[in-house]
Amino acid sequence: MKREKIKALLASGGTDREVLVKGWVRTKRGSKNIAFIALNDGSTIKNIQVVADVSGFDEQLMKEITTGACIAVRGRLAGSEGSGQDVEIRAESIELYGKADPETYPLQKKGHTMEFLREIAHLRPRTNTFGAVLRIRHALAYAIHKYFNDKGFYYLHTPIITSSDAEGAGEMFQVTTLDLGSVPKKTDGSVDFSDDFFGKPTNLTVSGQLEGELGALAIGEIYTFGPTFRAENSNTPRHLAEFWMIEPEMAFYDLNDNMDLAEDFVKYLIRYALENCSDDLDFLNKMISKDLLERLDFVINNEFIRMTYTEAVGILEASGRKWVYGTGWGKDLQAEHERYLVEEYFRCPVILTDYPKVIKAFYMKQNDDGKTVRAMDVLFPGIGEIIGGSQREENYEKLLARIQELGLPEKDLWWYLETRKFGTAPHSGFGLGFERFVQFVTGMANIRDVIPFPRTPKNAEF
């Protein structure tokens, strides 16, 4: 007999037939004569109720069917006499795959705090909340590939190990095979990397963007979707040391095309989740974040506000607010400023453009005013900056001048500069932090709870 997944079984509609299901026991209740087992196999947030007439089963077996145990149930699918569910399985035989000693199994029927569940990350996927988050995370990852594939973008695999700190996106994790107990030194005392695996210092990537640009300037429109690593000592509900980032890069896109793509992309993903994960989103809306569905609907049904950094500063200065951080032109916007614009003034996602060049990266296209660059940040309620992007500087002289002005390692960037030397083209791109986006879609308050195994300062367990 073929095992059926609970999701398919519940969707099938028919009753009065033999079925075989396998899964993990969520709860068992009942009396001396009858037992009710809520069984979940991860295919859906919904459990199937298994009803067992106790007299027909081995006493020891029934005793060992406890919360967390894994069982296979063969029985008859039937309409339920109880009110909590439409159908249930009248068990005819039960096989116990794995016991879960109730005295030591850490998951209870009652709710647990997110902090506690983080300590048992190997078991937390068995909870309703994490099951829902993991299914939604999967659906969003799939939708990302589908969106870009359908638009003719190519998935470009940029390197995880890199040898330059050109992007300057943050502190990096060093990659080495040198024996840290006795590091080879040169005569001047500095580390001799010639014996290291790559013969020079290497690190884990902080961004695939620069390599992404190489792809865009050859095959037109590409995207990356991979892990990135930042060794920043950031301890916040919005930062991870290891996170996933999506970075599309497009030839012949100007900043407006870039913004259009970003907005359309984000709305597509939310719509995809609403259409394909409604059970999980309903659960999260009820148990985790009260107005979740309302927020998601709002984002897909409203145009993002677009304005320049300069206009935004004007709004902040006209607000009459007392800010902890000053708001003069040329200063970067702080969390309190972004929050005011998004959550109070507009109450809508906002795209800010044309930031002062001094606070932005070297590769952004310089405007004719000599002061600003064609940058864009997409700001979301609750999580702040979710997308950062720009039109890239395609002019060789201007790009080189900026690199020199900032004292960046020109030698390490020779390959990047050559794209502007040989057949340069206007192009744009952006980066979307995947976990921050999953946070927004699921309503989870802490980014550590939207990735199966979070990596944060002082924590690399599991």
Partner RNA sequence: UCCUCAGUAGCUCAGACGGUUAGAGCGGCGGACUGUUAAUCCGUAGGUCGCAGGUUCGAUCCCUGCCUGGGGAGCCA
In angstroms, rounded to a whole number, what is the distance separating the alpha carbons of residues 380 and 458? 29
Task: Name the minimum Å distance from CB 91 to RNA.
Answer: 11
In angstroms, rounded to a whole number, what is the distance separating the alpha carbons of residues 351 and 247? 17
- Reduced to 3 states, what is the DSSP secondary structure of residue 369? coil
Task: Name the minimum Å distance from CB 196 to RNA.
Answer: 26
| E strand or H helix that includes residue 125 | none
In angstroms, rounded to a whole number, what is the distance separating the alpha carbons of residues 141 and 452? 14
Lookup: tokens for 315: 């709004």
Which residue number, 220 or 339, has a Cβ lying nearer to RNA?
A: 339
Say which DSSP state 54 is in.
G
Task: Name the minimum Å distance from CB 65 to RNA.
Answer: 10
Burial 172-183 (b: 16+ CB within 10 A, else e): beebeeeeeeee
Which residue number, 89 or 196, has a Cβ lying nearer to RNA?
A: 89
| E strand or H helix that includes residue 386 | strand 384-391
Which residue number, 171 or 297, has a Cβ lying nearer to RNA?
A: 171
Task: Name the minimum Å distance from CB 113 to RNA.
Answer: 4
Task: Name the minimum Å distance from CB 324 to RNA.
Answer: 7
Other beta carbons within 10 Å of 407: 7
In angstroms, rounded to a whole number, what is the distance separating the alpha carbons of residues 397 and 101? 69
With contact defined as beta carbons under 8 Å apart, do 310 and 359 qualify?
A: no
With contact defined as beta carbons under 8 Å apart, do 4 and 11 qualify?
A: no
Which residue number, 108 or 174, has a Cβ lying nearer to RNA?
A: 108
Task: Name the minimum Å distance from CB 450 to RNA.
Answer: 10
Which residue number, 196 or 352, has a Cβ lying nearer to RNA?
A: 352
Which residue number, 49 or 196, has a Cβ lying nearer to RNA?
A: 49
In angstroms, rounded to a whole number, what is the distance separating the alpha carbons of residues 433 and 149? 19
Task: Name the minimum Å distance from CB 123 to RNA.
Answer: 11
In angstroms, rounded to a whole number, what is the distance separating the alpha carbons of residues 161 and 248? 20
Which residue number, 135 or 448, has a Cβ lying nearer to RNA?
A: 448
